[in-house]
Structure 1
Amino acid sequence: MAQTNVLVLDEHRTVPPDLRSALERVGARVHVRTPTDVLAASPGRLPDVTVMLAHAGLSPHTVRAVARRLDDDGRRPSVVAFAEQDLHLLGSHVHAGCDYLVPPFHADLVLARLRNCDERARFSRTMEDVTAHAELLSYERELEIGREIQLGFLPDALPSPPGWEIHVRFRPARTVAGDFYDVFEIVNRRRLALVVADVCDKGVGAALFMALIRSLLRHTAEQSGLQSLIAAELLGEETTWAEHSRAIPVVGATPLLNAVVGTNNYLTRNHIRQGYFATMFFGVLDPGTGNLVYINGGHNPPVLVSASGAEPVLLMPTGPAVGVIPDVDFSLGYAQLSPGDTLFIYTDGVTEARSESGRFFGEEEMLRQLAEAAVRGEELLDHMDGALSEFVGPAEQSDDITMMAVHWRPPGTPAD
């Protein structure tokens, strides 16, 4: 056994001569302290001890307090109570879980007790390590299962109407993410729903709310999309686009509003105490005309990158984040895509990406990179990926990153 550091705890800083002699004979290094000495010591100023010999005249409460103080300082000694004459004092310490040592303090007996304490300490540390490792493996397995379930909520393939390309980059900061995206057809496949959202926070809790919100949005949009189509056909109306009057299109706006408003009301009615909410961009695209009606619920403004080289158009928020304010009104926004344009939708993991020095990528740099990039959808994402990687460098990814590019190919341009 290596040299044992022993703390003798006594109110008067005295050690029975035969006990001290026995400790010295077995090669133990002895430190003598009062309870006050230990409790008042500054962090890092306590001796590194593996065994604490506490005088039985001290109360078990005091001994526990000293043991906790040593534990706080990174020491975890085995506690042994000792008595010289009043052996009855040992009873309360034994009931409190301490080992004990009684006279005569022969060197061989003291050495055996120290060895026993050392072996128990080693066993305890081993069991703690095994338990911690098992818990870590279990947690990692649960996270992996959560990741697989979460990926199941993301679309396996993205619909691409004739003449359109849709590409996504999705990089969680952890095993599971709070970001999500979705692309699906509504209104009897006549409209395309585009969703990019970011649930506040990261990790398992955010991932659970991601799954809930995604399911609510998709189910409500698909169901009310059919209803709005039936109503439009009964009225003999097609979707109209009144750019200047901002009239609400009959087909497309109804499922959009129903989905966002219904999800917001459900979350604020049933889950507001959990404190989770989501910023969200939900657009409904008419692939035949490039008309886009959308709700931006407190989300980073998507960027419409024009093939003509015109200034990028930012699709600003039309309402608050989803899940914060009950019965809130969400306004509709409108945009017009032309052949060759690309709509770039993203989460704040892009603008809030940090360099090794802690500097943010920022919206200004993002717009500069978008202006420099080729406007074709997948090429745009490749360019942004490269710009982000170069900016962040070796720094750890601090937030989930999601980017979606929706590109309308000019006539005569071959598909990939």
Structure 2
Amino acid sequence: MAQTKVLVLDERRGMPPGLRDALDHVGAEVHVHSPGEVLAAPPGRLPEVTVLLASAELAPHTVRSVARRLDDEGQRPSVVAFAEHDLHLLDHHVTAGADYLAPPFHPDLVRARLRDCHERAQFSRTMEDVAAHAELLSYERELEIGREIQLGFLPDSLPSPKDWEIHVRFRPARTVAGDFYDVFEIVNRRRLALVVADVCDKGVGAALFMALIRSLLRHTAEQSGLQSLIAAELMGEEAGWAEHSRAIPVVGATPLLNAVAGTNNYLTRNHIRQGYFATMFFAVLDPATGNLVYINGGHNPPVLLSADGGEPVLLEPTGPAVGVIPDVDFSLGYARIGPGDTLFIYTDGVTEARSADGEFFGEEQMVGQLGEAAVRGEELLDHMDGALSEFVGRAEQSDDITMMAVHWNPPGAPAA
């Protein structure tokens, strides 16, 4: 057994002569201090010890305080109480979990007791290490299961209406993510729902709310879509939109509003205490015309890139984040993706990507990269991936990154 290093704890900085002789006989390295001296010692000034040998005259809570102080220094010595005459004082310490030494302090008995303490301490630390490792493996396995479940909530493939290209890049910062995206058909396959959202925070909690919010949005939009279609066919598709300068079909607006407002009300009624919310861009596209009706709930403004090289158009928020304000009214936004145009939708993992120097990529640089790129659709995502990788360098990815490119490429459309 390696040399035992003993810290003797006594208010009078003493110990029974027989105990001191026994410790010297077994070759122990002995330090004697009062509790006050140990507790008042500056960090890093305490001796390294494997056994805390405490006088039974001390109160058990005083011994625990000293043990915690040593633990703060990264030491976890075995606690042993000793008494010379008043052996009944040992009872409280043994009840508190300490071992004990009582006269006669024969060297062989002291050596055996210290060896037992050392072996138990080693065994205890080994078991704690094994338990911690097993817990880590279990947690990593649970995260992997969570990742597989989360990926199951993301679409395996994206709808591809004639002459339309939709591509996505999804890079979680951790095993599971708070970002999500979805593309699905509604209104008897006459409209296309486009969703990119970012649940606040990262990790398992955000991933659980991501699954909940995605399910609520899709279910409500799909169920409302058929009702919207019936109503629109009875009233005429453009009824209710005469006040707008563009002929935006009413079909799709109802499921959009129902999905976002319904999800917001559900979250604020049932999960406001958890503190999770989501920024999201939810749009309904008419593939036949390129008309787009959308709600931007506190999300980063998507960028509409014109095929003729005109100024990029940012689709600003039309309401707050979803899950923050009960019964809030969300306004609708309108845009049109023309032939050859591309709509770039993203999460704040793009603009808040950080370089090794801590600098943010930022919206201005992102829009500049989009405007300079002489490509559209999937090649545009390749370009942005490259720009982000070059900017970030060796720095760790700090947030989930999601990018979606929606490109209309009919025959004869202008080239980028």
TM range (shorter): over 0.9
C-alpha deviation, 1:46, in angstroms: 1.5
- Residue in 1 that maps onto 2:230: 230
1:146 aligns with 2:146: yes
The alpha-carbon deviation at position 237 of structure 1 amounts to: 3.3
Partner of 1:328: 328
User: 1:6-29 CA deviation, whole Å, 9 max, x = no partner?
Assistant: 100000001222222222222211
One-letter amino acid of the counterpart of residue 100, structure 1:
Y
Q: In angstroms, what is the RMSD of aligned CA positions?
A: 1.6
Q: Could you report, residue by residue, the CA deviation over 1:241-291 in whole angstroms, capped at 9, with x for unpaired residues?
A: 769536763211111111111111111111111111100000111111111
TM-score normalised by structure 2 residue count: 0.96
Shift of 1:240: 9.0
CA distance in structure 1 between the aligned counterparts of 2:267 and 2:375, rounded to whole angstroms: 37
Q: Is the 8 A contact 2:248 2:291 kept in 1?
A: no
Q: 2:203: which partner in 1?
A: 203
Corresponding position: 1:51 with 2:33: no
1:17-416 residue pairs with structure 2 within 5 A?
A: 17-237=17-237, 244-245=244-245, 249-412=249-412
Between stretches 4-13 and 25-34, larger displacement belongs to: 25-34
**What are the Cα deviations for residues 190-229 of structure 1, in whole angstroms up to 9, with x where unaligned?**
1100000000011111111111111111111111111111
Instruction: Provide the C-alpha distance between the structure 2 equivalents of 1:166 and 1:361, rounded to a whole number of angstroms.
Output: 24
Give me the whole-angstrom Cα distance separating, in 2, the residues matched to 1:72 and 1:240.
69
Distance 1:71 1:291 in 2: 66
Give the AA of the match of 2:53.
L
Task: Specify the SS of the correspondent of 1:251.
Answer: coil
Distance in 1, Cα, partners of 2:394 & 2:237: 56
* Residues 247 and 35 of structure 1: CA distance in aligned 2, closer, same or farther (over 3 Å): farther
The answer as to whether partners of 1:283 and 1:295 remain within 8 angstroms in 2 is yes
Quickly say closer, same or farther: Cα 1:341–1:239, change in 2 above 3 A: farther
- In structure 2, what is the Cα distance between the partners aligned to 1:132 and 1:87? 38
Partners of 1:237 and 1:333 lie apart in 2 by: 18
Whole-angstrom distance in 2 between the partners of 1:135 and 1:25 = 43
User: 2:226 & 2:374 partners in 1: Cα distance?
Assistant: 37
Report the Cα offset of residue 56 of structure 1: 1.0
Counterpart residue identity of residue 73, structure 2: D
Partner of 1:15: 15
User: How many aligned positions are there?
Assistant: 413
Deviations 1:62-110 (A, max 9, x none): 1112112211221111000111122222122112211111122222221
Letter of the 2:154 counterpart: L
Q: Is the 8 A contact 2:199 2:276 kept in 1?
A: yes
- What's the CA shift string for 1:334-384, capped at 9, x where partnerless? 111111111100000000011111111111111111112133210010011
> Take 1:167 and 1:309, find their aligned partners in 2: how far apart are those partners?
21
Give the superposition deviation at 1:3.
1.5
Give, as a single letter, the amino acid of the residue that structure 1 aligns with 2:369: Q
After TM superposition, the structure 1 stretch with the greater mean CA deviation from structure 2, 36-45 or 258-267, is 36-45
Task: Name the CA shift for 1:244/1:224 in 2 (closer, same or farther; >3 Å).
Answer: closer
Distance 2:45 2:226 in 1: 73
Which 4+ runs in 1 deviate beyond 6 A?
Answer: 239-243
CA distance in 2, matches of 1:131, 1:174: 24
Structure 2 unmatched ranges of 5 or more: none
Q: Tell me if structure 2 keeps the 8 A contact 1:284–1:294.
A: yes
Is the CA contact 1:4–1:51 (under 8 Å) kept in the aligned structure 2? yes
Whole-Å Cα distance in 2 between the matches of residues 267 and 158 of structure 1? Answer: 27
Letter in 2 for 1:277: F
In structure 1, list runs of 5 or more residues that go unmatched.
none
